Structure 1
Amino acid sequence: MTEAFSYRDDPKVPDFPDDRPLFVFDGYCVLCSTGVSWLMKYGGDCVRYASAQSPLGAALFDHYRVDPDKTYLLIADGNASGESTGYLRLCRLLGGFWKLFLVFGLIPRPLRDWAYRVVARNRYGWFGKVEQCALLSAEQRARMLG
């Protein structure tokens, strides 16, 4: 997408702790918020979270020139990824039993990304839409950046 850690030089991107990966997701999407809630509960503390609707999330989507209606952002080691590759990268970062999901990496990327785009395009119709991060507990919302 762009050079590693390039967001540090972008005055539009608020400073944030980038010592751990950051997962920026659609806070209105029921599927996305439920998934993040689950990750917060079972994925440990090795990843930070921000919603795409937060000032930080919006600035990062703008910086990387990515449409937040089409994918999420996983920023790790200063580099951003999304769609199916981002999820495989996330599983690698989480380690443990999450590495079992790396088997999906055997599926050719164009097919994985096509399936991802079908779900992303239909997520509100299939799963619903709520107020930003409404499905996260108060404790989980407190863990959010930005």
Structure 2
Amino acid sequence: MGILKKEVIIYDGICVLCNNIVRWIIRRDKDGLFLFSNLESEFIKKNFPNLNKINSVAVIQIDGKVIHKSNAVKHILNRLKKLFFIRIILNFSPLFLSNFFYDIVARIRYFLFGKYQSCPIIEIKKDKFIY
């Protein structure tokens, strides 16, 4: 995989919560910092096959390094400069603690928010997606 031109946010395409968060990020990404790809995409299968085994949001940085779980959330919020209070909590809490709470939400997200039968096409900003 060559060097990316933008960071890529990887998300669970069938997760209702994840899709809503992607829409939220797109609306706030005024500088075009991110592209998006779901875990089931051909891009991920071909270039990052190990990512389809994770149960987490991930960010593929421009240099190809992958960060996930609460580190990915913290990275996204810091880049967007949004949700100051949550950023402060994530920046100062120990990684094991923020990942603990991340894992709880990840485990119950389908129960709380539901899931799609297949990954829906997000109609806004289709050019921001890698399939």
- Would the TM-score normalized by the shorter structure come out above 0.5? yes
Q: Does 1:50 align with 2:37?
A: yes
CA distance in 1, matches of 2:107, 2:126: 25
Q: Does 1:72 align with 2:57?
A: yes
Change (3 A) 1:75 1:98: farther
Change (3 A) 1:24 1:107: same
- SS of corresponding position for 1:36: helix
Tell me the alpha carbon deviations over residues 3-42 of structure 1, each in whole angstroms, 9 at most, x when there is no partner: xxxx43xxxxxxxx71111001001000000000111112
Q: Does 1:36 align with 2:22?
A: yes
Q: Which runs of 5+ in 1 are unaligned?
A: 1-6, 9-16
Q: Does 1:103 align with 2:88?
A: yes
Partner of 1:139: 124
Count of aligned pairs:
128
CA distance in 2, matches of 1:75, 1:114: 22
Tell me the alpha carbon deviations over residues 15-73 of structure 1, each in whole angstroms, 9 at most, x when there is no partner: xx711110010010000000001111122221100111111123454245x623x2121
Q: Which amino acid counterpart does residue 110 of structure 1 have in structure 2? A: F
How far the C-alpha of 1:141 sits from its partner, in A, is 3.9
CA distance in 1, matches of 2:125, 2:119: 9
State the TM-score, normalizing by the size of structure 2: 0.83
State the TM-score, normalizing by the size of structure 1: 0.75
- 8 Å Cα contact 1:24/1:50 also seen in 2: yes
CA distance in 2, matches of 1:47, 1:67: 22
- SS of corresponding position for 2:76: helix
- 8 Å Cα contact 1:52/1:61 also seen in 2: no
Q: Which runs of 5+ in 2 are unaligned?
A: none
